[in-house]
């Protein structure tokens, strides 16, 4: 099993809670003895995870950043990013998907995973090329969502979108340049919300493959929103429309 390093309290605690068997060992800052660390150590010991005491500098060297919060885990890859067909076949009810076309900032990816988890999206889909992978920084920002939301990377995004359409999943692309907004769309059926990259937006072929293009209405002075914020707004509107009527 291929291993990777994850860091930060949320990411490591979530992995121990959901997939303790995948955690090979954790490295902790011996100087940190606060309650949060004690709770993590207790959970690790209860799960039978090996604990290695070390120092802040070594942790920084392991993950390449000082934002590790004093805890790093060596863990196996999870099987969440499964075959897309298998995942869709297992979904009960209309699928709710988030598609990210070319997100390159791991902080944005992590935040998108977090809002996808919060809104109950079934998966996040992204191209393998010209996009950031699910690295340790993205996992930390996701605050545990990287362990619960399938992140599926595909070789050809346009082809994958066409396959989703064949499954009667509505492709809702987002753009600042259209008048129709998210409140004009029926999200109650199966749908995939497609977000473009931070600077360029959706690529031409991705845009042309979408069934409908919508904008997030803006009422203030700023022209656009961060991709994770816009993702959250769209996903929660879809979730709102799916709430049972009284």
Contact (CB, 8 A) for 151 and 113: yes
| 143 and 232 belong to one structural domain | yes
| 131 and 235 belong to one structural domain | yes
Question: Which residue, 51, 76, 101, sits at the end of a domain?
Answer: 76
Establish if 67 belongs to a structural domain. yes
214: region left, alpha or beta (phi > 0 left; psi from -120 to 50 alpha): beta
Quote the pTM value.
0.73
| 94 and 204 belong to one structural domain | yes
Per-residue model confidence as pLDDT tens digits over 62-93: 988 888 999 999 988 665 545 788 788 778 88
Which helix (H) or strand (E) segment holds residue 74: the answer is: strand 71-76
| 72 and 94 belong to one structural domain | no
Number of domains composing the chain: 2
Range of the domain at 25: 3-76
Contact (CB, 8 A) for 27 and 54: yes
The label of the residue with tokens 């060297």 reads: 61
Strand 212-214, strand 123-127: pairing: unpaired
Establish if 246 belongs to a structural domain. no
Question: Which residue, 15, 50, 76, sits at the end of a domain?
Answer: 76
Establish if 216 belongs to a structural domain. yes
Cα distance between residue 222 and residue 175, in whole Å = 15
| 51 and 72 belong to one structural domain | yes
Strand 3-7, strand 71-76: pairing: antiparallel
Rg (CA), the chain: 19
Establish if 96 belongs to a structural domain. yes
CATH number, residue 162:
3.40.1280.10
| 37 and 7 belong to one structural domain | yes
| 115 and 42 belong to one structural domain | no
Per-residue model confidence as pLDDT tens digits over 200-240: 889 999 999 999 999 999 888 888 889 999 999 999 999 99
| 169 and 90 belong to one structural domain | yes
DSSP secondary structure letter of residue 33: -
CATH number, residue 61:
3.30.1330.30
| 44 and 103 belong to one structural domain | no
Centre a 10 Å sphere on the Cβ of residue 177 and count the other Cβ atoms it contains: 7
* Residue ranges in the chain whose pLDDT is less than 50: 81
| 113 and 207 belong to one structural domain | yes
| 137 and 63 belong to one structural domain | no
Structure tokens at 109: 């990816």
Question: Which residue, 43, 59, 76, sits at the end of a domain?
Answer: 76
Of the candidates 1, 198, 212, 223, which has an alpha carbon nearest to the alpha carbon of residue 109?
198
* pLDDT value at residue 80: 54
| 9 and 112 belong to one structural domain | no
């Amino acid at each position: 099993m291929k291993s990777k390093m994850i860091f930060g309290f949320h990411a490591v605690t979530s992995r121990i809670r959901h997939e303790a068997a995948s955690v090979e060992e954790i490295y902790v800052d011996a100087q940190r003895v606060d309650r949060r660390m004690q709770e993590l150590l207790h959970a690790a010991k209860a799960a039978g995870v090996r604990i290695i005491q070390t120092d802040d500098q070594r942790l920084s060297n392991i993950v390449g950043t000082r934002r590790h919060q004093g805890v790093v885990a060596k863990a196996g890859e999870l099987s969440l990013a499964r075959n897309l067909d298998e995942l869709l076949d297992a979904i009960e009810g209309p699928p709710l998907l988030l598609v990210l076309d070319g997100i390159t900032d791991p902080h944005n990816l992590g935040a998108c995973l977090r809002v996808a988890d919060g809104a109950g999206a079934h998966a996040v889909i992204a191209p393998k090329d010209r996009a950031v992978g699910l690295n340790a920084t993205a996992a930390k920002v996701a605050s545990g969502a990287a362990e619960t939301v399938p992140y599926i990377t595909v070789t050809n995004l346009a082809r994958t979108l066409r396959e989703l359409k064949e499954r009667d999943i509505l492709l809702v692309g987002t753009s600042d340049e259209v008048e129709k907004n998210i409140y004009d769309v029926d999200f109650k059926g199966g749908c995939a919300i497609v977000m473009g990259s931070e600077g360029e937006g959706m690529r031409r072929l991705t845009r042309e493959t979408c069934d409908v293009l919508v904008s997030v209405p803006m009422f203030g002075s700023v022209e656009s929103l961060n991709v994770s914020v816009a993702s959250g707004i769209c996903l929660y509107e879809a979730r709102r429309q799916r709430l049972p009527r009284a």
